[in-house]
């Protein structure tokens, strides 16, 4: 676990910048969403702001997903640049959330952040609800065509093309 104690860090620095390589096990990405197989490269830049901190995250990496139509696995690039604000839980008087607050993580102790948790949160948000191996994936019914062909039906040239595509 990579814990950053910002209170301590900002006692001696005004800006915190560091690169990390996070192992898949450490990130703990939910297996039901996908499988991260390669280490992630993460660059963090943190600055202080009025109610907490501004965290700039630059993530390079990919996840193996299962296509929701054809069930094949494919690799999706999750590389991204994100800016997050980490603030103390709002008090009763200041509690009025606006759409911009989606970029805000409220924490009991905003001075202590867990890098893996932060990265995991961003990655989960960037996995599509219905992953597709390619935008025009036409699903598993391809197998039905091949089955027909094997039974000795006249071979439609389109099926041959499909078969070649599938065996790639």
Which residues contact Zn ion (rule: CB under 5 A)? 67, 69-70, 133, 137
Q: Which is nearer to Zn ion, 95 or 144 (CB)?
A: 144
CA distances from 26 to 19, 40, 87, 116 (A): 16, 10, 24, 7
Q: Which is nearer to Zn ion, 40 or 65 (CB)?
A: 65
Q: Which is nearer to Zn ion, 69 or 76 (CB)?
A: 69
Q: Which is nearer to Zn ion, 69 or 163 (CB)?
A: 69
CB of residue 100 to Zn ion, shortest distance in Å: 35
With tokens 């996995």, the residue in question is 127
CB of residue 149 to Zn ion, shortest distance in Å: 20
CB of residue 144 to Zn ion, shortest distance in Å: 15
Q: What is the 3-state secondary structure (H, E, C) of 28-95?
A: CCCCCCCECCCCEEEEEEEEEECCEEEEEEEEECEEEEECCCCCCEEEEECCEEEEEEEEECCCHHHC
CB of 97 within 8 A of CB of 110?
Answer: no
CB of 113 within 8 A of CB of 91?
Answer: no
CB of residue 33 to Zn ion, shortest distance in Å: 17
């Amino acid at each position: 676990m990579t814990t950053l104690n910002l209170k301590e860090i900002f006692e001696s620095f005004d800006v915190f910048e560091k690169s990390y390589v996070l192992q898949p096990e450490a990130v703990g990405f939910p297996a039901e969403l996908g499988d991260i197989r390669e280490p992630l490269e993460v660059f963090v830049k943190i600055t202080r702001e009025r109610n907490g901190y501004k965290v700039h995250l630059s993530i390079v990496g990919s996840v193996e997903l299962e296509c929701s139509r054809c069930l094949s696995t494919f690799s999706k690039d999750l590389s991204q640049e994100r800016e997050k604000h980490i603030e103390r839980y709002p008090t009763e008087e200041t509690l009025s959330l606006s759409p911009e607050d989606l970029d805000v993580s409220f924490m009991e102790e905003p001075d202590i952040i867990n890098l893996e948790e932060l990265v995991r949160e961003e990655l989960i948000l960037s996995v599509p609800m219905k992953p597709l191996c390619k935008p025009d994936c036409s699903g598993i019914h391809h197998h039905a065509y091949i089955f027909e062909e094997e039974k000795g039906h006249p071979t439609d040239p389109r099926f041959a093309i499909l078969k070649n595509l599938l065996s790639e």
